[in-house]
Chains A and B, each alone.
Chain A
Amino acid sequence: MTLQFDIHAAGALAPGVGSLADLLALRRGEFVMTNTATALPSPQSLPANERRRASQVVRLTMACAEQVLRVSPFPVDSLRLVFASDEGTGEVCQQMLETLATTRQVSPLLFHNSVHNAPSGYFSIAYQSRQPATSVSLGKQSFAGGLLCAVSEALSSHQPVLLLCYDPAMTDPMHALLPVSSATACAWVITAGDGPVISTLALARFALTLRPADNDEDDLLPSWLPLAWTANSSALGLAALGLLDDKGAPGACDLRLGAQRMRLERLDGATAC
């Protein structure tokens, strides 16, 4: 079963990476990764009250969203949203577990920030968008699961979809369970089928094919991405964005999705960046 979609804008956020151009330069070996933390600026798009209260994962998703919206050809209030993460509120969840194990005096802020869809809730408030938002998860296969949801939603709604996939860094003690040491995120703005007619060219067209997996092997990161990001579900989304590099080869990647395998193949030769 093959579905086609176009990507119109992309964002990348990771240690030393603040744009798609940075990511593609990393792929070409044009700069060496330094051991820096991911830059997470205070989200300017949020009202002051929400900005002050923003957790790490909200700053992460808003920073990646702001980045991709600067280059998206679609108005933000026309984008349907798919947010995908392995454990998207892990650090907030850990604070809540600590509270429940001690005073049990959970704060309202901590509680509503603990839901998996908190980042998409903040996004809709920041941009005053009533577009549907769906927050999904499939462990370390969350990027593939999110992409499948985004492409099928673009096809059936005839609207552009913003897919954000992200992993906030975890601290001890839950870092032992979820060894995400650096926050990473990627953003894809896509259309499919009879999507809206736009004046700008797409960055690239992709074919997405699902077939039964023939083995149980986990996905490995390509050698141009740091091994330290292996625990990050969004690193596979950053790897897939590497397909936008014209000078790179090959033009396809494979992603595990439960008992299925998703093949993502770039169809055209359009140049990114």
Chain B
Amino acid sequence: MLGIGGYSTVNAAGVDNAGSWDAIATGRSGLEGNALPWCDLHCWVGEVAGVDDEALPEALAAWDCRTHRLASMALQRNHFRDAVAASVARYGAHRVGLVLGSSTSGIRTTELAYAYYRSKRRWPDDFAYRRSHSLDAVCRFSAQLLGLLGPMIAISTACSSSAKVFVTAKRWVDCGLIDAVVVGGVDSLCLSTLHGFHSLQLLSDERCRPFDARRNGISIGEAAGFVLLDKQAAAINFVAGGESSDAWHMSTPHPEGLGAQASMDGALRAAELSPCSIGYVNAHGTATLANDRAEAAAINAVFGVGAVPVSSTKGVTGHTLGAAGITEAIVVIQALEQQVLPPTAGLCEQEAGLCLDALTQARGARLHHAMSNSFGFGGSNCSLIFNRAD
């Protein structure tokens, strides 16, 4: 069990912890009709306010790209740097690790640079692949910003990336490599994922509606989030996680959610908890037909039909892809703090047959243990369990 020493979330619904939770707890969506000047797809997006005007710290200006601006916003808000500095003072910078997830890293910068290359037959002078698009760039940028010298790694498993960071980080603490660790994730809006999901006909033409009978796809958002984990237990803790592979299809989940069941079962086993001790599941709940059916089947198989309160908060934040795991882990941490289960924005009438106790309104609860699910392309599944000490 690792104690939560601090966290910071930035997403379309809110650019700080309080703002994000207020939107999520009231189901106020941050999604808007797509007005990105560089993308003409008819869809809804979760764009973070102020990214275009965000300046990186002067010493790190050479790392400028949209993902690092998002990361910088999250790292410098919510007293997160102070919390990390306290861990560095306690354990030493070499004993604080860094495990970050991203699906596409700074690919938006490479999209622009590639278009420039095609017209000029040379790369832009200020294009630095290693400091923007390279998957480890966000690790090296964040390590410098936070002054961390411990072991680091970037995890990229599509939409489970920044959930799996918790499990890897816990292994590093458990085997004594480090005493504390910053986990997190970031993904920005880019042509690659917008047109990629468009090609799969998975972009909704309205705000996404997880578990709704009339849902017709996802809304993509951008986000950054970070959590400081400590070997000492705290008021809220990361207990354990489970991981699995679908072994089914590259972009479609197993229809009965067998991989999802395996990751939830694995998390419960690792946490030494029975299903009935989980008081809330923050679902992956993307609002595609296939995901929500498979996930509902898996949740009902693990917990019993309609036996656990479930919501998806993607109607508020959008599906933030490689940042979805950390964004929703923070939702679960805040639900444990506030003792409130957030609603599923966009859910009016649940699809018949899903049979979930899907929350349409916020619900007060005595919540001790809660789970967050994240599933990704390649059949990559991860489930995380958090608890409240009292």
Tell me if A225 is interfacial: C-beta within 8 Å of chain B. Answer: no
Residue among B130, B177, B250 having the largest count of chain A Cβ atoms under 10 Å: B250
Known contacts A115-B377, A134-B243, A156-B171, A145 near B152 by CB under 8 Å = yes
Contacts of B158 in A (CB 8 A): 115-117
Contact residues in A for B134 (Cβ distance below 8 Å): 86-87, 137, 139
CA–CA, A102 and B262, complex, Å = 42
CB-CB under 8 A for A108 and B156, given A115-B377, A134-B243, A149-B168:
no
Within 8 A of B (CB), among A57-77: none
Specify the main secondary structure of chain A where it touches its partner: mixed
Whether the pair B250, A113 counts as a contact (CB closer than 8 A) is yes
Task: Mark interface residues in A100-119 (1 if CB within 8 Å of B CB, else 0).
Answer: 11101111101111111110
Q: Give the distance to chain B from A60, nearest Cβ to Cβ, in Å.
A: 16
- What band does the interface of chain A fall in when counting residues whose beta carbon is under 8 Å from B? 35 or more
Residues in B with CB closer than 8 Å to A253 are none
Cα-based distance from A122 to B379 in the complex (angstroms): 9
Chain B residue with the shortest CB-CB distance to A212: B94
Q: Residue on A with the closest CB to B378?
A: A121
Minimum CB distance partner of A116 in chain B: B156
A81: which B residues are within 8 A, CB to CB? 245
Cross-chain contact B153 with A148 (CB below 8 angstroms): yes
Closest to A81 in B: B245
Stretch at the interface among B29-37, B73-81, B194-202, B312-320: B194-202
Q: What is the CA–CA distance of A120 and B378 in the complex, to the nearest angstrom?
A: 7
Q: Does A98 contact B (CB under 8 A)?
A: yes
Cβ contact within 8 Å between A117 and B156:
yes
User: B136: which of A118, A120, A138 is its contact (CB, 8 Å)?
Assistant: A138
- CB-CB under 8 A from A176, the residues of chain B are 123
Which residue of B149, B153, B172, B196 is within 8 Å of A259 (Cβ)?
Answer: B149
Which residues from chain B contact A248 at a C-beta distance below 8 Å? none
Chain B residue with the shortest CB-CB distance to A107: B199
Is B155's CB under 8 angstroms from A135's CB? Answer: yes
- Counting CB contacts under 8 A, is A133 at the interface? yes
Interfacial chain B residues near A212, Cβ < 8 Å: 94, 149
Structural contact, A156 and B199, CB atoms closer than 8 A: no
Q: Give complex CA distance A125, B103 in Å.
A: 21
Would you call A131 an interface residue if the criterion is a C-beta within 8 Å of the partner chain's C-beta atoms?
A: yes
Task: Kindly supply a per-residue 1/0 record for chain B positions 168-179, scoring 1 wherever the CB is within 8 Å of any chain A CB and 0 otherwise.
Answer: 101110111100
B51 partner residues in chain A, CB cutoff 8 A: none
A177 and B248 contact, CB distance less than 8 A: no
B123 pairs with A108, CB closer than 8 A: no
What is the bound-complex CA distance between A128 and B156, given in angstroms?
21
CA distance A257 to B140 in the complex (A): 11
Interface residues of B in 338-359 (CB under 8 A from A): none
B79-98: CB near A (< 8 Å → 1, else 0) gives 00000000000000110001
A159-214 residues at the B interface, CB under 8 angstroms: 173, 176-178, 210, 212
Residue of A110, A113, A125, A137 near B135 (CB, 8 A) is: A137
Q: Say how far A243's CB is from chain B's closest CB, in angstroms.
A: 21
Contact indicator A260/B175 (Cβ below 8 Å)? no
Expressed in whole angstroms, the minimum distance between the Cβ of B154 and any Cβ of chain A is 5
B-binding residues in A (CB < 8 A): 1, 3, 81, 86-87, 93, 96-98, 100-102, 104-108, 110-118, 120-122, 124-125, 127-139, 141-142, 145, 148-149, 152-153, 155-156, 173, 176-178, 210, 212, 257-260
If A117-B378, A134-B157, A173-B114 are given as contacts, then 4 extra A-B residue pairs at C-beta distance below 8 Å, sorted by A number, are: A1-B176, A116-B157, A124-B247, A173-B123
